[in-house]
Structure 1
Amino acid sequence: MFARTYGATTLGVDGLLIDVEVDSAAGLPGFEIVGLADALVKEAKERVRTAIRNSGIQLRQEKVTINLAPADVRKDSAGLDLPIAVGLLAAYGLVSAVTLAKYLFAAELSLEGECRPIKGILPMTVKARESGFEAVFVAKANANEALLVDGIAVYPLDNLSQLVGFLTGQERLVPAKAEPVPEQDTECQDDFADVQGQFQAKRALEIAAAGGHNVLMVGSPGAGKTMLARRMSTILPDLTTEEALEVTRIYSVAGLLPREGGLIKRRPFRSPHHTSSMTALIGGGSVPRPGEVTLAHNGVLFLDELPEFSKKTLEVLREPLEDRKITISRVHATLTFPSDFILIAAANPCPCGNFLDEEQECTCSAGEIRQYNRKISGPLLDRIDIHIQVPRVKYDELASKKRAESSAQIRQRVVAAREIQLQRFRKYGIFCNAQMNHALLQKLCVLDEQAQAMLALAFKQKNLSARAYDRIVKVARTIADLAGAKNIEAAHVAEAIQLRNDNNF
């Protein structure tokens, strides 16, 4: 007997509908899964048969063939266990195959028949709603995540027996309702008020937050670079509903959502170790998965000890920094992941870290310093808008009892500047100054004669590239927005030039 059920997997950060076709016929007993299933899915035949038996259901010994369509896409989700089990029961005539067309099933099965949570339930549920399904059946631990999608019923399952009872009319299931997600404690959250001194660095990060600009901080060890970077997310505007759904979908696919589910409301802050591989940073695998640049989407990617990353790893950052997306090609799929993030990078000026220090003597040779700095290429530095030096904090500043400006105060100015940009770019589909292309820059960022002359002088003296020119103008536009100025003035350009100190590398 033939039966069809529907499951789903993920392709990139989107859901992919899978037709599960099951055929059971008399013949030499066997169980085959076809349709480009990887080892994880092929193992489903053992999990499914054992789960069905331990649920109190005995199946006849027949030849079973299961096809997973589309056959040209590799499937690697344990969530196909449940639709395979339901399809098998329908093929044996134990549940009605007629009603299955309106349901999508997505859960892993244990050997006892319990339903276990899987990755990517949010994009799978979105796909189910778009495809016209009435309901999805998921593990109870995935219910809150699936409920983020409106317009489709979500049935939470404890085990396979519960689902069989519902499909045979012997048991009643009630659609899930969203459970409140506990609020995170923000009392001990990092705050810029804890940072003594470093006024230029804090100003640079405020500008970066207001315009979405990338920042490189160079300074001695212990100067506070990491401390500053970790507070960057506290001054960024809240995620919009659209951004929050996008981030939550990415974290769902990566399996990084908290067990209670719910919408991610805080901007991501990712800080990979400098030993991270190129694949870990940009994503990859036989079926490409999101890397750190995608997990930082709509948030902050912090690379501490930048020269300690391998040069090959750093060079792959060029595309996401320029295009705000990353395309990964593999034999079975070519996928594009979003990667619109603010890059905050921190580096020492030399191996010992004291090259720019006024008090500590540098012990590195000129050759060692050149070799150390050569790890960061010119094209990569060109894509970073703001380059600043972070000096060692003086004792008087550390010992001062005067509390510095809080993140909440800085954030008010950042939000006000972002509102100006939202109004400016309302017709263009972008949200901040850093996203402007050259054509928009020419149209929306007109410089007066004095500002133009100042920029021309800096262009010649610093030997800037066309990309660096654009980025200085974007930063100047953000400085003007923070000041509430309609036009870019000479003072704004002067500060933007000052914030691009290329002498550190």
Structure 2
Amino acid sequence: MIAKVTSCGLMGVDGFVVDVEVDISNGLPSFEIVGLPDTAVRESKERVRAAIKNCNYEFPIKRITVNLAPAHIKKEGPCFDLPISIAILHASEQIQVDDIKDYMLIGELSLNGELRPINGVLPIAMAAYKNDIKKIIVPTQNAYEAAVVKGLEVYPANNLYQIILHLTGEKRIEPFAVDFDSLFSNTDRYGVDFSDVKGQDNVKRALEVAAAGGHNCLMIGPPGAGKTMIAKRLPAILPDMTFEESLEVTKIHSIAGLMPQNMPLITTRPFRHPHHTISNASLVGGGKVPKPGEISLAHYGVLFLDELPEFKKDVLEVMRQPLEDGQVTIARVNATLTYPCECMLIASMNPCKCGFYGDNTKECTCTPLQIQKYLGKVSGPLLDRLDIHVEVSPVRYKSLESDETSESSSRIKDRVNRARKIQIERYKGYNIFSNAQLQPSHMHKFCNLGDQEKNLLKMAFDRLGLSARAHNRILKVARTIADLDESENIQSSHLAEAIQYRSLDRKFWR
């Protein structure tokens, strides 16, 4: 007899429906799985066999063929254990399920029939809903995540026997629901605040501009000046995530197996802080079947690269195209997948190997050649993609001991939200949501300058020896500063501030 159960596989950040077909026939006892299964899927034979026996059902001593369709797409992971088990029991007529076509089943089985959680449940649940499958059975630990898909009935289960009782109608499982209002109700989700930062007003202003326009930023200064401390507080002034953004970010983290327990959605902006020993594949994604890297895990959030010159040069260069395109395409023999990576890149570095080049309080011990070699690790093309460069000076004792309270993240965030709202209204219909996403074709329309501003920009372009890309970056940053001032036109003061955020080109690299 033949039985068919619906399940789901993963390709990139999306799920695709897999039909688990089981045929049981007379012949020499065997158990074969076809349809491009990987090692984890092939090993499910032993898990399925043991789980069925330990749930007091009979494993058929016949010729069993399992087909995972479509057969031309590689299937990976242990999520097919449950549908294979149910299909075998159905095909062997040990259970009778009339509405099996209405369900999607996913889950890994232990040898005693317990159901274990799997990765990527959210994209699987979304694929079920898109394919008009209204019911899904998942491991209990994955129920929160699956239940965020509205219109889908989620049935959490602990073991194979419980699922059999539900499908046969003997003891139904209650559908699981999520309180969506409570997910976004927590106002203090980051635990850090800009009010903790003493002094550094110029750096906080630069990061406010970066947050308002979605710009990449480089902080350069001596050790202990507060670069990392300030960077960690950047997500607290970014606009709150929308439900659609949360879904997209959650999909990526779910596939990577990084979802916090009992948290159905990621509602805070991601902050990824990889170590400088990271590899190319870990940063942008890779593997036999490509997995998302740190740049994709920071989607709609912040990717912070501390001690930028300490990263391998090829690792830094591989980021250039993803930073421009907002997505990274990874080609392998098994698959070519595209992951989104619309993130803000925030980098920090010392001005030299010892960290005190240009410092007024401590003497630099590096030779000019050592300084040039250290700074040369960051290429010009990558530097051009960093819209804002800001110097971070050592904090003075007077600032540290001051009782004056610095401006809080909530007040800065209010200004950022107003600027973002202006940008969304301005670019309605252009599929642009921040100034950083402006293309060269849009510059003349949205970043138009008067004669005085044009002369100022020309003088800066000639003196600093800027590239065409840097020219466009200055215009984008100036547009953001004007939005923070709620000014329709870019004024000379806005342009001057934007230009001074490129002054490090001349001071350290020229």
TM-score (norm 2): 0.96
The residue correspondences of 1:251-290 to structure 2 (distance < 5 A) are: 251-290=253-292
Instruction: Give distance in 1, aligned partners of 2:83 and 2:422.
Output: 50
Query: Do the aligned partners of residues 425 and 332 (structure 1) sit closer, same or farther apart at CA in structure 2, a change above 3 Å counting?
Result: same
TM superposition shift of 1:167: 2.2
Which amino acid in 1 is paired with 2:76? D
- The match for 2:454 is 452
Conserved 8 A contact 1:13-1:123? yes
- The match for 1:90 is 90
Query: Where does structure 1 lack aligned partners over 5 or more consecutive residues?
Result: none
Instruction: Give distance in 1, aligned partners of 2:428 and 2:83.
Output: 44
Instruction: Give distance in 2, aligned partners of 1:96 and 1:331.
Output: 41
Q: Please say which of residues 78-87 and 97-106 is displaced more in the overlay.
A: 97-106
1:7-57 C-alpha deviation (Å, 9 max, x unpaired):
112111111111111111111111111111111111100111101110110
Query: Do the aligned partners of residues 52 and 187 (structure 1) sit closer, same or farther apart at CA in structure 2, a change above 3 Å counting?
Result: closer
What secondary structure, in the 3-state scheme, does the structure 1 residue paired with 2:333 have?
coil
- The match for 1:43 is 43
- The match for 2:125 is 125
Conserved 8 A contact 2:189-2:268? no
1:491 pairs, out of 490, 493, 501, with 493
Conserved 8 A contact 2:17-2:127? yes
What secondary structure, in the 3-state scheme, does the structure 2 residue paired with 1:289 have?
coil
Query: Do the aligned partners of residues 181 and 298 (structure 1) sit closer, same or farther apart at CA in structure 2, a change above 3 Å counting?
Result: closer
The residue correspondences of 1:239-388 to structure 2 (distance < 5 A) are: 239-388=241-390
Query: Do the aligned partners of residues 66 and 150 (structure 1) sit closer, same or farther apart at CA in structure 2, a change above 3 Å counting?
Result: same
Conserved 8 A contact 2:22-2:67? yes
Instruction: Give distance in 2, aligned partners of 1:254 and 1:203.
Output: 35
Instruction: Give distance in 2, aligned partners of 1:184 and 1:110.
Output: 37
Conserved 8 A contact 1:3-1:97? no
TM superposition shift of 1:187: 8.6
Instruction: Give distance in 1, aligned partners of 2:46 and 2:405.
Output: 63
Instruction: Give distance in 2, aligned partners of 1:96 and 1:134.
Output: 20
Conserved 8 A contact 1:193-1:403? yes
Conserved 8 A contact 1:4-1:97? no
Which amino acid in 1 is paired with 2:167? L
How many residues of Structure 1 are paired with residues of Structure 2 in the alignment? 505
Instruction: Give distance in 2, aligned partners of 1:403 and 1:265.
Output: 28
1:285-308 C-alpha deviation (Å, 9 max, x unpaired):
111111111110111110001011
1:227-247 C-alpha deviation (Å, 9 max, x unpaired):
110110111110112111111
2:208 pairs, out of 206, 209, 212, with 206
TM superposition shift of 1:96: 3.1
Which amino acid in 1 is paired with 2:11? L
Which amino acid in 2 is paired with 1:143? A
Query: Do the aligned partners of residues 187 and 212 (structure 1) sit closer, same or farther apart at CA in structure 2, a change above 3 Å counting?
Result: closer
Instruction: Give distance in 2, aligned partners of 1:60 and 1:31.
Output: 10
What secondary structure, in the 3-state scheme, does the structure 1 residue paired with 2:79 have?
helix
Which amino acid in 1 is paired with 2:300? N
Query: Do the aligned partners of residues 409 and 370 (structure 1) sit closer, same or farther apart at CA in structure 2, a change above 3 Å counting?
Result: same
- The match for 1:70 is 70
Query: Do the aligned partners of residues 408 and 98 (structure 1) sit closer, same or farther apart at CA in structure 2, a change above 3 Å counting?
Result: same
Instruction: Give distance in 2, aligned partners of 1:67 and 1:467.
Output: 53
What secondary structure, in the 3-state scheme, does the structure 2 residue paired with 1:196 have?
coil
TM superposition shift of 1:116: 1.1
Conserved 8 A contact 2:183-2:267? no
TM superposition shift of 1:59: 2.1
Instruction: Give distance in 1, aligned partners of 2:383 and 2:19.
Output: 48
Instruction: Give distance in 1, aligned partners of 2:208 and 2:230.
Output: 11
- The match for 1:504 is 508
Which amino acid in 1 is paired with 2:381? P
TM superposition shift of 1:185: 8.8
Instruction: Give distance in 2, aligned partners of 1:464 and 1:72.
Output: 50
Measured on the aligned residues, the alpha-carbon RMSD in Å equals: 1.5
- The match for 1:18 is 18
- The match for 1:478 is 480
TM superposition shift of 1:181: 6.2
Which amino acid in 1 is paired with 2:177? K
Instruction: Give distance in 2, aligned partners of 1:418 and 1:143.
Output: 35
What secondary structure, in the 3-state scheme, does the structure 2 residue paired with 1:290 have?
coil
What secondary structure, in the 3-state scheme, does the structure 1 residue paired with 2:27 have?
coil
- The match for 2:196 is 194
1:431-480 C-alpha deviation (Å, 9 max, x unpaired):
11000101111111110111111101111111111111111000000000
1:83-112 C-alpha deviation (Å, 9 max, x unpaired):
111111112112236532221001111111
Residue 436 of structure 2 is aligned to residue 434 of structure 1: yes
- The match for 2:422 is 420
Conserved 8 A contact 1:220-1:356? no
Conserved 8 A contact 2:13-2:255? yes
What secondary structure, in the 3-state scheme, does the structure 1 residue paired with 2:324 have?
helix
Instruction: Give distance in 2, aligned partners of 1:398 and 1:178.
Output: 45
- The match for 1:166 is 166
Q: Please say which of residues 74-83 and 445-454 is displaced more in the overlay.
A: 74-83
TM superposition shift of 1:2: 1.3
TM superposition shift of 1:171: 2.0
Instruction: Give distance in 2, aligned partners of 1:187 and 1:299.
Output: 14
Q: Please say which of residues 390-399 and 217-226 is displaced more in the overlay.
A: 390-399
Conserved 8 A contact 2:190-2:236? no
Instruction: Give distance in 2, aligned partners of 1:125 and 1:135.
Output: 9
Instruction: Give distance in 2, aligned partners of 1:241 and 1:185.
Output: 15
Q: Please say which of residues 252-261 and 334-343 is displaced more in the overlay.
A: 252-261
- Give aligned-pair identity as a percent: 51
Conserved 8 A contact 1:389-1:504? no
Conserved 8 A contact 2:296-2:339? yes
2:220 pairs, out of 197, 218, 221, with 218
- The match for 1:397 is 399
- The match for 1:152 is 152
Instruction: Give distance in 1, aligned partners of 2:457 and 2:91.
Output: 74
What secondary structure, in the 3-state scheme, does the structure 1 residue paired with 2:288 have?
coil
Which amino acid in 1 is paired with 2:81? D
What secondary structure, in the 3-state scheme, does the structure 2 residue paired with 1:4 have?
strand
Instruction: Give distance in 2, aligned partners of 1:339 and 1:432.
Output: 15
Query: Where does structure 2 lack aligned partners over 5 or more consecutive residues?
Result: none
Q: Please say which of residues 92-101 and 105-114 is displaced more in the overlay.
A: 92-101
Conserved 8 A contact 1:219-1:347? yes
Instruction: Give distance in 1, aligned partners of 2:165 and 2:81.
Output: 18
